[in-house]
Amino acid sequence: MKLAILIPPNAEELPQLAAQMGVKLVITKAAQELSGLKSPHNYESLKALKDKFGRFGLSLCGLEGDQFDMNAIKLGLPARDEHIELYAQMLRNMGRLGMDLLCLNWMACVGWFRTNSDTPARGGATTTSFSLDKLTQKKKNARIEISESDLRKNLDYFLDAVLPVAESEGVKMALHPDDPPISPFCGVGRILKSSADYENVFARHNSENLGVAFCQATFKLAGENLKNLSANWIKRKKIFFIHIRDTIGTAENFTEVFIDENRGFISEMLAHYAACGFDGYVRSDHAPAMGSERQPYFASGVSAGYQPTGHVFSYGYIKGCCDTLKIPLQ
């Protein structure tokens, strides 16, 4: 396995801290609002980020999330083709810089979402949670902006255009599930909320460079059998990236918890992934804020769940599990 950590491009202390922890692999979101640079379709901007992490002995191996406003592409708006070309250029830049992982999603208008970012957690920590009942009536009754059918058509159009570029550049495109896995959500259809949704995409796009970002907590909330599903996809070489986190509850009402709270669950899943032959990227995902840190107000996935101390704890826990289980890490 390749154990990585997510470091935002504007993080000040975390790169140095990661180097001191022995981290080697980094994933980032290179969006202009975070980096202060042009979006990564600009080669010099992406190279500057890679060089920045490189100065700490860290290798930038992949990108995650929307690297610029993707709504024209996801909603099929007039600027779609222009933006798809920017995306294709980003893939070319990644290939040129030796970055082989791109985690993307197809959540239009509203990204991953929580209703609370200050839910009490162990020892006075704070965490994120979601309650469908706490959504405002305005959001619950929002006019359907785009249907599942139209989203599928737009995803197909996008993949037809960019997959050949990803293949030629050696970039693996890992699709992240909808979070929470509910459709419609705030007036928007969701089309990656179950394993069946993924199989429909794979049936239409047979590419070795198209696969899954296996966010185990999201698939757990979707009611999937994690071991059976991951074993199947690993055997077919469809899982490129695994997010390690845990939740309690249901898709309609859940709380994110420390990854050690469900004793044995994380180590059991790591052992399972290794036994199945998984050799891709793994990272800790949303973690409670610890100590004096607090989760910022949640704004559609911008930063909630990514305070540094919680991720330092999670990274160390995952590494400790792997060392104990004798799982080789790259």
Give the start-to-end residue ranges of the domains of the chain: 2-325
74: pLDDT strictly greater than 70: yes
List the structure tokens of 136: 């405002």
List the structure tokens of 32: 């202009």
The model's pTM is 0.96
Beta bridge mates, 102: 63, 173
Closest-CA residue to 100 (of 281, 238, 274, 244): 281
> What mean pLDDT is predicted for residues 200-220?
98
Question: In this prediction, what percent of the chain has a pLDDT beyond 90?
Answer: 87
Question: In this prediction, what percent of the chain has a pLDDT beyond 70?
Answer: 96
Q: What are phi and psi of 51, to 5 degrees?
A: -65, -40
206's CB contacts (< 8 A; 6+ apart) are: none
Task: Please name the helix (run of DSSP H) or strand (run of DSSP E) that holds residue 117, with its range, or none.
Answer: strand 116-120
Number of neighbouring beta carbons within 10 Å of residue 37: 18
Amino acid at 197: D
Query: Average per-residue pLDDT in the chain?
Result: 94
Query: What are 147-162's pLDDT values in tens digits?
Result: 999 999 999 999 999 9
Q: How confident is the model at residue 327 (pLDDT cuts 50, 70, 90)?
A: very high
> What mean pLDDT is predicted for residues 192-212?
98
299: pLDDT strictly greater than 70: no
301: pLDDT strictly greater than 50: no
Task: Specify the pLDDT at position 75.
Answer: 95
**Gap between the Cα atoms of 28 and 15, Å rounded:** 11
Task: Specify the pLDDT at position 187.
Answer: 86
**Gap between the Cα atoms of 75 and 108, Å rounded:** 7
User: What 8-state DSSP symbol labels residue 297?
Assistant: P
Number of neighbouring beta carbons within 10 Å of residue 59: 15
> What mean pLDDT is predicted for residues 18-32?
96
List the structure tokens of 280: 């891709």
List the structure tokens of 242: 């695994």
8: pLDDT strictly greater than 70: yes
**Gap between the Cα atoms of 232 and 19, Å rounded:** 35
Exposed, middle or buried by CB within 10 Å (0-12, 13-18, 19+), for 138? exposed
Lowest mean pLDDT: which of 121-135, 244-258, 293-307?
Answer: 293-307
302: pLDDT strictly greater than 80: no
Task: Specify the pLDDT at position 300.
Answer: 45
Lowest mean pLDDT: which of 162-166, 173-177, 307-311?
Answer: 307-311
**Gap between the Cα atoms of 108 and 103, Å rounded:** 15
Pairing mode, if any, of strands 239-244 and 210-215?
parallel
Lowest mean pLDDT: which of 36-45, 93-102, 128-137?
Answer: 128-137
Q: Which fold has domain 2-325?
A: TIM Barrel (3.20.20)
CA distances from 203 to 39, 153, 160, 162, 211 (A): 32, 14, 13, 17, 12
